[in-house]
Amino acid sequence: MAKVTINGIEVEVDSSMTVLKAAEKLGIVIPTFCYHPRMDPAGSCRICAVELEDSKRVVMSCVTPVADGMRVLTESPKIHDARKTNLELLLLHHPLDCPVCDCGGECPLQNMSFAYGATETRFESHRNDEPEDIKSDVLVFNANRCILCGKCVRICDEIQDVHAIGFINRGFDTIIGPPLGKKLDCEFCGDCYEVCPTGAITDQFTRYKYRPWQLEKQQTTCAYCASGCQIFVETENEAIVRVTSREGVGPNEGSICAVGRFGFNHVQIPERFDTPYMRSLHRLVPATWEDVLPEITARLDLIRKKGTDRVAGLISTRVPMEDAYVFQSFFRKVLRSNMIDSGARFGFMNAALPLVSATGTLRPLVDHEDILKAKVILVIGTDPVAESNISGLFLKRAARKERAKLYVVDSEAITLSTRAKDHIRLLPGGEKLFVSVLNEEIARNGALSPDWTARKEELFKNWNVDPGAYQRLVNDLTSTETGIIVTGRKAYRNENGSSIMNSIVRLIGSLGWAGKVGSGLFLLPENANDLGVLMMGGTHEWLPGLINATDPSSKSRWESAWGRRLSYGNGGSLGDILKGIEAGQINALISLGENPLSHFPSGSKVRETLAKLDLLVVLDLFQNELSDMAHFVLPVSSSFERGGHFVSAEGFVQPIKATMAHWGESLPDWEILSKIAHGMGESLGFESLESITAEILRFLPDLVPSSRNGAHYQGPTGEITVPVMSKTPPHKADRESVSVKYAQWQSGTVSANGEVHPILGEGDFILALTKSLFHSGKMTLMDPNLMEIQSEGKIRINRQVARKRKIKKGERVTVRSSFGSCSMIAEPSSSVAEFEVLFPSHFANEVVLGLFPPDLAFDRETGVPVQHRVRVFLETQNPA
Amino acid sequence: MTLKTLLNNILFTEIAQGLKLTLKHMFKKKITVQYPHEKLTLADGYRGFIVHRRYENEQERCVGCDLCEAICPAKAIRVVGDIHPEFPERRYAKEYTLDFTRCIFCGFCIVACPVNALAMTKEFAHSSFTREGLIYSKDQLLALGDKCESESIAYLKVRNMWGAEDSGKEEGRYHFPPIPTINAGG
């Protein structure tokens, strides 16, 4: 500890601290340009100068460590002169085009020049007239305005770990930009543009469209992935102009990804439904709510009187908790149907079911902070950077800055593999074997039965697993103090997803991590509110609070809570719903933003099945295959227009806010359902969103909103108060009860010769549908900004293989499977495995889905559709 | 009643006194202006209608910076900026509306303008049968500016705003990237 005196106030601080941080502790603000709390200090802008009283020297506070007995002045005539001179020098080449600069009005350089009165310069120089670099479709670099603080370069290196931009040239000619004057090619997170203290980096989407003082700022939660990023939506006249983040606020600590930052425009394009539509003479015609609601009500009323489970419901996992709660109440109370399912059924249920049966909760055992503290991290079956970008950032930081031993098990070289200690590059299809052998090895402490030994040998021989790396992984996992397994989409969307997730959950138990603080499983859901919708009982298995929906004793708990008898049927998942419709037992389907047609190939006859419905009501934002078939299409609010709460992957229950005006006549889902229920003469008892939240919290008090780094910002305009570190109530699962439950669950043994779903078809390659970094589901395909970043799906193929087969970049290739064929644009990539080809699932339209086996197959345990990969041949189209 | 007042009353002295002034003016030069047919010469710097100005190469000066909107005390101006369709590095006003029904002719917008794109003219009698007719778009303002170019220059000179920006000297108030020369009318 060191005692320092700053401006006459004595403070005792850690001796490793810098003067700047010591002053921050006292609440003294020292102006900075190049300092950034999450990065190493650079000391390049020379504006944080302070005076040492004893030696009368001027030093840079951001790089000077404190010393015992140090006496510092942060404001003095000498400091004032030093800063002013500095500003004059910074402004020497600065173009002073503030009126047209997007940063003008929120520019630290502008504010500082104003504060220090650096209006005239005593130096002779010329203004820079470098042309702007507008080659990139996303970011614009203006070398004239740059003050070379290096923040953008450092955030790209240290936080994002992407290394896309750097200093070019030397001396007066130094500029910032992508190397070799090329077009910028990076993750387009826009963090460089966020931290830039001048207007040197701006973005193409909002360029010249706003002035900062016109914008109204509101904090909300990003509705794309489950990282739970806190974003600031800035609107002018209730239309969204841009999305920004704020340093240190939220679980994301101020970083957001490309999708969150630029994907806001799809909610305000003319293609969006702005009025209800009703089918009349085989055409959908615009109608009013007054026409549509009584009609739906009357038809639903007739159908529900036929018996229980007559109406099926699908809910997207992008809706807030409150809407999911109303959705299931409406179905179970009013329609007496348990035929409900959520978008999580397309994959996440594979993970949720074993996890809930093992731990009793969907809340995670670990969060991002634990990732930073973990000694060993195993990333298996996921590409965190693409799936949940901010979790990916924490993993990068853990591996790079905190020196965690990172293991990546994946067929593809994902972004994290270059930071990994070992990248176990197994062949596609061997995932299930790998995790089950790993679990058995750890559970039996290495003493494998002959059956299992044979399987392990198979792993090394057939699936390309390096025995040395495998052994290192086993040793590290068993000997570590704290370890985390990260898994996600690739694991639970695998054709063996259910058993892979089962083995991974077992593995946590075998390692004894259930009871070990700081260790556990970090599961990356697909959508923003996968956890929330399931917690609210969005599927037939569970009532709100993950209580078994069919067991009479657990059902009676909700019956007494709601004060009414629940007389719904046994219910069923997506597969049962389709079967029920086919058999005529289900006559109506209400879909809240979920489109099953986009997941199944046309040969699977899902369209024909759905055509048998007497009533199909679709609540959605955009026209899609399902809405084309619908009898009624109802416009719903997007996540930017309504309130509610999302549950993030870390277990935080974070609010979303209405930030823009309602689009046309759109309404939130809960309001539409309440109105329909009201029309049927039943009241759900919800007058406002607050009343739903209140009811949820009354019955499930552990869902009290929580967040990291910052109380939620309240109020229409103005400054956001300094973030308060608040972590109560706990967002993580209760470790004690989880470890008790785990012990009960861990009883059975696993057979070495369990059933394996093979990858179907034949061909040289395995085609997998992956998640792209720049899209999220199919909704973002409607976003003009994100379509600018990535406008089409390209099939990624191993570079060497492409060379051998003479497939060039951008060339069209024919992809042929046993079930169909289609033409795709090839993109050779060094990260893809030799026997694999990858295609972004967002662009998987009917033609691409036609490559997949047409028969509907669902996992027996979890009801998740199993076709996720298929074997294909590649043929070049040009014979030359 | 005295004799004097009595005399005054009988002889209508007061009326005569009043008519004396009238009669005097009958022999003086007329000062009434027959307005629609005759017009006064207004001084340079008269705060009449606001116009948009162009550079010598016919290009509009306005950079769509929104400063006039920010300073306008009557909230009469609305600017929507965007990327220039021809020069992607330039900002321009996609929409510019000036509501003369709200304008109080204070001239703050002209002071705020960094490129001297705005000036006031001696036009004062633009009338319309509707309120909408007095909400001027950028094209209307530019057309009016073309019509009254000399007046707007005179305004800026008198108000001391004909500065470096227009004289072509290096040290302007602001420095923008050079504007590419384009043909007249482009």
Q: What is the pLDDT of residues A194-210, one digit of tens each?
A: 999 999 999 999 999 99
Sign of CA dihedral B43, B44, B46, B48: positive
Q: Are A4 and A66 in contact (CB under 8 A)?
A: yes
Whose CA is closest to A276, among A851, A814, A652, A671?
A671
Query: Is A326 found in the same domain as A198?
Result: no
A869-876/A836-840 β-pairing: unpaired
Within 8 A by CB and 6+ apart from A228, the residues are A221, A222, A250, A251, A252, A528, A646, A648, A649, A650, A652, A654, A707
Q: Quick one: fold of B50-163?
A: Alpha-Beta Plaits (3.30.70)
Q: Are A294 and A427 in contact (CB under 8 A)?
A: no
CB contact under 8 A, B66 and A96: no
Question: What mean pLDDT comes out for the span A428-442?
Answer: 91
CA distances in angstroms from A628 to A277, A282, A590, A597, A610, listed in the order given: 11, 10, 14, 11, 12
Alpha helices in A347-466 (DSSP H): 348-359, 368-373, 384-387, 389-400, 431-443, 450-462
**CA distance linking residue A357 with residue A354, whole number of Å:** 5
Query: Is A699 found in the same domain as A558?
Result: yes
CB contact under 8 A, B82 and A131: no
CB contact under 8 A, B177 and A96: no
The amino acid present at B37, given as its one-letter code, is H
Q: Reduce the DSSP state of residue A71 to 3 states and report it.
A: strand
Residue of B nearest to A208 (CA): B82
pLDDT band at residue A6, thresholds of 50, 70 and 90?
very high
Q: State the residue range of the domain holding A212.
A: 126-268
Residue of B nearest to A100 (CA): B65
CA distances in angstroms from A380 to A49, A129, A538, listed in the order given: 47, 50, 27
Determine the distance in angstroms separating the CA of B32 from the nearest CA of chain A, rounded to an integer: 47
Whose CA is closest to A536, among A272, A674, A352?
A352
Determine the distance in angstroms separating the CA of B70 from the nearest CA of chain A, rounded to an integer: 9
Q: Is pLDDT of B181 > 80?
A: no
Which residue's entry shows tokens 């923008």? B176
Within 8 A by CB and 6+ apart from A815, the residues are A767, A795, A821, A822, A823, A824, A837, A851, A872, A873, A874
Determine the distance in angstroms separating the CA of A474 from the nearest CA of chain B, rounded to an integer: 56
pLDDT of residue B174: 57
pLDDT in tens, A359-415: 888 999 999 999 999 999 999 999 999 999 999 999 999 999 899 999 999 999 998
Q: Is pLDDT of A524 > 80?
A: yes
Q: Is residue A555 in a domain?
A: yes
Query: Is A316 found in the same domain as A264?
Result: no
Whose CA is closest to A705, among A145, A322, A190?
A322
Whose CA is closest to B142, among B98, B176, B174?
B98
**CA distance linking residue A327 with residue A339, whole number of Å:** 12
Q: Is residue A436 in a domain?
A: yes
Q: Is pLDDT of B177 > 60?
A: no
Q: Is residue A108 in a domain?
A: no
CB contact under 8 A, B115 and A99: yes
Query: Best interface-test mutation with A: which of B89, B113, B173 has the largest number of A CBs within 10 A?
Result: B89
**CA distance linking residue A326 with residue A315, whole number of Å:** 11
Beta bridge partners of residue A32, listed in sequence order? none
Q: Is pLDDT of A276 > 90?
A: yes
Q: Reduce the DSSP state of residue A463 to 3 states and report it.
A: coil
**CA distance linking residue A448 with residue B178, whole number of Å:** 76
pLDDT in tens, A768-821: 999 999 998 888 999 999 999 999 899 999 999 999 998 999 899 999 998 889
Buried b (16+ CB within 10 A) or exposed e, A624-641: bbbbebbbbbbbbbbbbb
What average pLDDT does chain A have? 89
Whose CA is closest to A408, among A457, A489, A473?
A473
Q: Is residue A789 in a domain?
A: yes
Determine the distance in angstroms separating the CA of A201 from the nearest CA of chain B, rounded to an integer: 13
Within 8 A by CB and 6+ apart from A519, the residues are A365, A366, A370, A374, A480, A482, A483, A484, A511, A513
pLDDT of residue A231: 92
Within 8 A by CB and 6+ apart from A392, the residues are A383, A384, A385, A386, A415, A416
Structural domain total, chain A: 5
Query: Is A288 found in the same domain as A255?
Result: no
pLDDT of residue A424: 93
pLDDT band at residue A722, thresholds of 50, 70 and 90?
very low
CB contact under 8 A, B70 and A213: yes
Query: Is A408 found in the same domain as A260?
Result: no
If phi > 0 it is left, if psi is from -120 to 50 it is alpha, else beta; for residue A494 that is beta
The CATH number that applies at residue A85 is 3.10.20.740
Chain B residue numbers touching A100 (CB-CB < 8 A):
63-65, 90-91, 176
Which of A474, A492, A523 is a domain's end point?
Answer: A523
Residue of B nearest to A103 (CA): B65
CB contact under 8 A, B177 and A97: yes
Q: Which two tokens stand for residue A417?
A: 């593999």
Determine the distance in angstroms separating the CA of B90 from the nearest CA of chain A, rounded to an integer: 8
The CATH number that applies at residue A586 is 3.40.50.740
What average pLDDT does chain B have? 85
CA Rg value for chain B: 25
**A213 burial level (CB within 10 Å; 0-12, 13-18, 19+):** exposed
Q: Are A732 and A361 in contact (CB under 8 A)?
A: no
Q: Is pLDDT of A513 > 50?
A: yes
Q: Is pLDDT of A757 > 90?
A: no
A472 C-beta neighbours (distance < 10 Å), count: 16
Q: Are A664 and A275 in contact (CB under 8 A)?
A: yes
Determine the distance in angstroms separating the CA of A722 from the nearest CA of chain B, rounded to an integer: 28
Q: How far apart are the first and last CA of chain A?
A: 74
pLDDT of residue B186: 33
Which of A461, A488, A523 is a domain's end point?
Answer: A523
Query: Is A562 found in the same domain as A682?
Result: yes
Whose CA is closest to A149, among A54, A250, A260, A62?
A62
Q: Is pLDDT of B171 > 80?
A: no
The DSSP element (H or E) to which A655 belongs, if any, is strand A653-656
pLDDT of residue B167: 53
Q: Is pLDDT of B120 > 70?
A: yes
Question: What mean pLDDT comes out for the span A414-440?
Answer: 91
Query: Is A320 found in the same domain as A219?
Result: no
Residue of A nearest to B63 (CA): A100
Chain A residues interacting with chain B (CB cutoff of 8 angstroms): 95-100, 104, 127, 129, 131-132, 134, 144, 207-211, 213-214
Which of A507, A523, A539 is a domain's end point?
Answer: A523
3-state SS of A208-230?
CCCCHHHCEEEEEECCCCCCCCE
pLDDT of residue A707: 83
Nearest CB to A134 within list B66, B88, B178: B88
Nearest CB to A132 within list B66, B89, B115: B89
Q: Is pLDDT of A256 > 80?
A: yes
pLDDT of residue A714: 42
| Dihedral of the alpha carbons of B173, B177, B181, B184, in degrees to the nearest 10 | -60
The DSSP element (H or E) to which A342 belongs, if any, is strand A340-342
Query: Is A40 found in the same domain as A12?
Result: yes
Query: Is A443 found in the same domain as A397?
Result: yes
pLDDT of residue B179: 53
**A372 burial level (CB within 10 Å; 0-12, 13-18, 19+):** middle
Query: Is A464 found in the same domain as A330?
Result: no
Which residue's entry shows tokens 């869902």? A703
Residue B168 C-alpha from the chain's centroid: 24
pLDDT of residue A1: 86
Query: Is A654 found in the same domain as A681?
Result: yes
Chain B residue numbers touching A134 (CB-CB < 8 A):
88-89
Q: What letter would DSSP give residue B35?
A: T
- Give the highest mean pLDDT range of A384-393, A726-735, A848-857: A384-393
Q: Are A391 and A227 in contact (CB under 8 A)?
A: yes
CB contact under 8 A, B114 and A213: no
CB contact under 8 A, A99 and B177: no
Q: Is residue A712 in a domain?
A: no
Q: How many CB pairs under 8 A join A and B?
A: 50
CB contact under 8 A, B70 and A99: no
Q: Is pLDDT of A724 > 60?
A: no
